[in-house]
Chains A and B, each alone.
Chain A
Amino acid sequence: MENERAIETKDLTVSYGKHRGITDVDLAVESGEVYGFLGPNGAGKTTTMRTLLDLIRPVSGTATIFGLDCQRQGAHAREYVGYMPGDLNMYSQLSGKDYLAMITYLRGNHIDKRYTEMLCQRLDLNVNRRIGEYSTGNRRKLGLVAAFMPQPQLLMLDEPTSGLDPLVQETVLDMVREAVDGGSTVFFSTHVLSEAETICDRVALIREGRVITVESVKSLTAKRLTTLSLELAHAVSAEAIERKGVEVLSIEGNLIRVQITSGLPEFMRQMSLLGIESITTEPVTLESVFLSYYRGEEAPRV
């Protein structure tokens, strides 16, 4: 098993009803890496995770976890997995403590109680209260404890920091790093690009059920776009501005909006000659990164 990939899918396709599924998803998550699965809401991240866990059956293609077929050997494969769903629903009549005890029992009691207590302390989670009385953040903390407590070889975390305050988010990212240092693999879905940049070794971008690209975080950030809005001293024409790596998005007199993929210093030198009155940078969104992959071509239909 040590030589096996943590996750491998080939041409994985899921369809259900009139809803979109996933199409020909190929993933290869190596053991010991933090693999980000990025995409906007509804892109197919959760469907992919649920298919890996054999909650949803694929129409075609294969999926394995540490070489074990996710359907034929699903229960065996899930022994290696700690999962935190994105839509976290728990047995609200139980206390947090009873919930964790139930998960421990259903997993076959192979869980270190002291480690579980340490996780609860770290996340500042009071497990003596009823889940029904928990805030959304506390529910998510409980879900994280349940996923981490078996110290699994593969952590599948579906938007794990969603609904948590920034301090706890940082703690969770630390926990992910420590799990990887301890030999675990983390498959981590998010729609927050900055989070993926912080924690992931590689990322797969998924949109409308298809994996668009798989990249190292370094190459992804190298491709990140800069969008600038400038107010110049004088009106200019688009031809005077456009150059390799610079795309004019709009131009109205002396107000221009450009997207820059390369050559930012040279562009700024050129603009300073024209007289810059003001400059505003727009935050990079995941969608803009996606658009950079789609520019000039029709988005594939699923």
Chain B
Amino acid sequence: MYSILRKELRFRLSGMFWWFIGGLSLALMEVAIFPSMASQLSGMDFPAFFELFGPVAQMYTIEGFLSVEMFGFMVPLVVCIYGVVLGANLLGGEEDEGTLEILAALPVRRWKIVVGKAIALAVLVLIPLVGMLLGTILGLEYIQDQLTSTIEMRLLLLNTLFSWPLALAFAYLGLWLGAYLPTRSIASSFGTSLAVIAYFMDTLGGMVPALQDYRLYSPMYYYRSLDVLHGELDWGAPALLLGLAAILLLFALASFARRNITVHAWPWQRNRQLDAE
């Protein structure tokens, strides 16, 4: 298991570096432009449509600005879709490329392959979040003279901690789909679609009263960056997301244990008895 984990992390060192740099640069840029944006945003009356992107009414505060511009958009969409695609790639992609045959033909148990990859995935989705955290801290340091209020370091750390289970849940969704569906591309497309649907379920649910109840079914609902940055911590939400991630990991384990590697069959085609051709 450790050997699989080491292999995965080693293979993705350059990817990890660039996602870290990407998260850091984005956060630095967002924080750096806040002072010039704040005065313009104060008192601005946003059309309801903009609430798709978060609590726009509070964008004149640093917490509101970061929630809308970065944590309310980058984490739920970009980082979660990155997680889904990466998750689907770890099993489905390796099978598509033919390298899974070599790996699975070694004296390694299947569950160890999945768990090794799952641990690697947990680290990999954390990397852009850590990059964003460091970029935010550096950016706040850079503009601190221009801020009327700032965010506690503790809350920034907690925000990363609270966003990670959401990214993890989508990464494990991708891992499961990669183990369950025939190819990486099908798994990635399906997982990405689910992430986008979940995002709109949450954001539209916040705008349209009739859809409000459906928000509860979206994992995005359980990560509210503005609340965390305001210090309103609901530990049940990340716990629930971690529970969801654990269930999806179990699904991935079960699906991979039954998978016919190299066959690329749909679930309903597997182990079908031969008919009289």
Contact = CB atoms under 8 A, between A and B. Distances in A.
Interface of A: 13, 15-19, 21, 23, 50, 53-57, 59, 74-76, 78-79, 81, 83, 85, 87-91, 93, 102-103, 105-108, 146, 301-302
A19 B182 CA distance: 14
B108 A75 contact: yes
Given A23-B274, A106-B106, 11 more contacts: A15-B271, A15-B274, A16-B265, A16-B271, A21-B274, A50-B101, A76-B107, A87-B101, A106-B108, A107-B107, A146-B102
A56 B102 contact: no
B242 interface: no
B266 interface: yes
Contacts of B272: 15-17, 59
B237 to A, nearest CB: 38
B208 interface: no
Contacts of B262: 50, 55-56
B145 interface: no
B104 A87 contact: no
B230 interface: no
8 A-B pairs with least C-beta separation: A89-B98, A17-B269, A79-B107, A55-B261, A78-B107, A75-B109, A83-B105, A56-B260
A64 B44 CA distance: 73
Contacts of A102: 7
Given A15-B274, A16-B265, A16-B269, A57 B258 contact: yes
Interface residues of B, number: 32
Given A15-B271, A17-B263, A90 B277 contact: no
Nearest to A110: B107
Contacts of B263: 16-17, 19, 56
9 contacts: A16-B260, A50-B262, A57-B258, A79-B107, A83-B102, A87-B101, A90-B99, A106-B7, A106-B103
A102 B4 CA distance: 10
Contacts of B235: none
A79 B4 CA distance: 17
A176 B105 CA distance: 20
Contact of B261 (A50, A81, A89): A50
B102 A90 contact: yes
A55 B104 contact: yes
Interface string B1-37: 0011011000100000000000000000000000000
Interface string B80-112: 000000000000000001110111111111000
A78 B105 CA distance: 7
B276 interface: yes
A83 B11 CA distance: 23
A89 to B, nearest CB: 3
A80 to B, nearest CB: 8
Contacts of A74: 109
B106 A107 contact: yes
Contacts of B270: 16
A22 to B, nearest CB: 10
A89 B97 contact: yes
B40 interface: no
Interface string B44-70: 000000000000000000000000000
B149 interface: no
B102 A85 contact: yes
A55 B97 CA distance: 15
Contacts of A78: 105-108
Contacts of B266: 17
A13 B104 CA distance: 21
B273 interface: yes
A101 to B, nearest CB: 11
B253 to A, nearest CB: 15
Contact of B107 (A13, A19, A75, A146): A75
A178 to B, nearest CB: 23
A70 B271 CA distance: 17
B269 A89 contact: no
B276 A301 contact: yes
A210 to B, nearest CB: 11
B192 to A, nearest CB: 25
B261 A302 contact: no
A53 B265 contact: no
A76 B107 CA distance: 6
